[in-house]
Amino acid sequence: MKLLLILLSVMTLTIQDKRSVTADGTWPYDFEVSYYNTGNKGSVTAKDTATLTLSHLDGIAIEKVEVYVRSNKDAGSGMFTVTANEEVVATKSGTYKEWFGAYNNTDFQALSLLEKPIGSVDALGIQLVGSVNSIHIEKYVITWGAQTPKTVTFMQSYRVYTTLTEESANKGVRLPQLPDTAHWHFVGWTLTQVWEVTEQPEVYLANAIFHPEEDCTLWALYGSFPETAPTCMTEIESGAYMYVNRDLNIVLADVPDGGTMAYAPLDASNDQLYYYVDFVSPDTAYIAHAFSLTPIGYVGNELTVAASPWLVYHEGEETLFYMIYENKPYILWLNIWHSHEYFYAGLLQTEPGPSPMALMTAPMSCGQPTYTCHPDTEDVEQVSAPSRTYSVPFGPFELIINNGKKELRIR
C-alpha cells in the first residue's frame, strides 16, 4: 500500500500503573487510550497479559510501533500482537535474548513490532501475553502521519471524463453515472482497462462510494448483452432477485455505506446485483446481498448493514419494500435526488402503493455478454454461448447455464 504522509508525528504512552498510561507528543484530536495489565503495572509474567488500546484515530497511517522493554536477569519471553481496526497486522514472539542478543534487567530497549507501515487506522491494539517470567514494559512509542486525500481520474474511452478528490482522507468519492451509448450499456467503473472481453472485470457501481488507497484511474466499462427475457416475481417466494424499477431499467446495487446505497443499470448477467430475499411471511421479508451475504437493513431512516425486517407491498408483478420510522412509512427507493447533486438509493418517506418496483429473477439468455472500455472505437463481435451445460459460482449459489438458459441453485 502506498502511503502519502504529509508530516510524521510521535506519541509516547508511558505506563503509570496497571490501569493507566500518560500520553506525550502529538495525537489525533479525538484520540482515546486505555491500558490494563492483569499483573503489576508494566510487568508481564507467565500468567499475565498487558493490553494497550487506542481508538478514534481518524484513519491515520502508522509508520512504526515500538515498545520499550527489559527482561529478568536470565529469563523473559512472550508474544506481542498488533491489531489495526480489529484485524491482526503483526505478531512478534520469542525470548528477550532472541530479540536483543542477551537478557537485560537494567535497561529498557526499543522493540519494533511492525514490518511495514499500515494505513487508514481508526483503532490500534497492542497486546503482550507472557510465557516465561518476566517481560517489563516501560512505554510505547508510535510514529504516525495524517493521510492526504486521494484523487481519482475517470476515463471515458480515451478522454478524461472528470477527476474527483476526496474532501478528506478516507472519505471516498461518489462514482459518476454515465449514459448508455447507441449500442453499448454502461455497467460501472473498473481499475482494469479492457478492449474486448467476455468475462466481466471487477466493477465499482455508479452512485456508490469508492475508497481509493492511492491516486488512481478508473475506466468506464460498457457491456453488450444478448437478448434476454427477464421475469418478475408474481407469487411470494424466497429466492435470489434483482430489486428493479421497471420504468427506468435500474436496480438496487452494492451494500449500505453512509446511510445510502447505489443503483445501477439493469444487467441480469451481473451476479453482484442480486439479493437474497427471505419471505418469513407474505408481508415481511429479510434482504441480503446474495454474493457477499451482507444483510441490508436500517437504523432510523437510514440504510445500514443489519438484518432488519422489511414490510412488503405486493400486487401482481409489483413488489415494494418499506419500513416504519416514527409512525411514518419509508419505502426502499432507487433514485432519490440529493440536494441538486446526485441520485442515490435509500429510504424515501411516502406511502407504499402502485409503482414500477419489482423483484426480477435471473433471466434466460441466448449468449454471453461482451465488455469493453472503448465502445466508440469499433463494434465488438458478440460471442455466442457454447451449446453445452456449465456452471458459474455465484456467492452461496450456483448458476447453471444449459444452452443459454439459466437456473439458480443453492450450492
Ordered DSSP codes for 286-301: EEEETTT--EEEEETT
Give the pLDDT confidence score for residue 213 in this predicted structure: 76
Q: Is residue 385 within 8 Å of residue 367, measured between CB atoms? A: yes
Give the pLDDT confidence score for residue 367 in this predicted structure: 62
**In which residue ranges of the chain is pLDDT below 50?**
1-6, 378-388, 390, 392, 394, 403-404
CB contact burial 84-106 (16+ within 10 A = b; e otherwise): beeeebbebeebbeebbeeebee
Between CA 325 and CA 330, with CA 329 as vertex, the angle to 5 degrees is 85
Give the pLDDT confidence score for residue 171 in this predicted structure: 77
Q: How far is CA 351 from the centre of its chain?
A: 32
Instruction: Convert the pLDDT of each residue in 286-343 to its tens digit.
Output: 999 988 889 999 999 999 999 999 999 999 999 999 999 999 999 999 988 877 677 8
Residue type, 10: V
Cell numbers 492526504: residue: 148
Cell numbers 469493453: residue: 372
Give the pLDDT confidence score for residue 229 in this predicted structure: 58
In eight-state DSSP terms, residue 149 is P
Q: What is the pTM of this model?
A: 0.45
Q: Is residue 158 within 8 Å of residue 373, measured between CB atoms? A: no
Give the pLDDT confidence score for residue 172 in this predicted structure: 83
Instruction: Convert the pLDDT of each residue in 82-102 to its tens digit.
Output: 999 989 999 999 999 999 999
Q: What count of other Cβ atoms lies within 10 Å of the Cβ of residue 162? A: 10
Give the pLDDT confidence score for residue 255 in this predicted structure: 92
Give the pLDDT confidence score for residue 341 in this predicted structure: 73
Identify the CA nearest to 282 among candidates 251, 305, 315. Answer: 315
Q: Is residue 317 within 8 Å of residue 355, measured between CB atoms? A: no
Residue 30's Cβ-count burial label (10 Å; 0-12, 13-18, 19+) is exposed
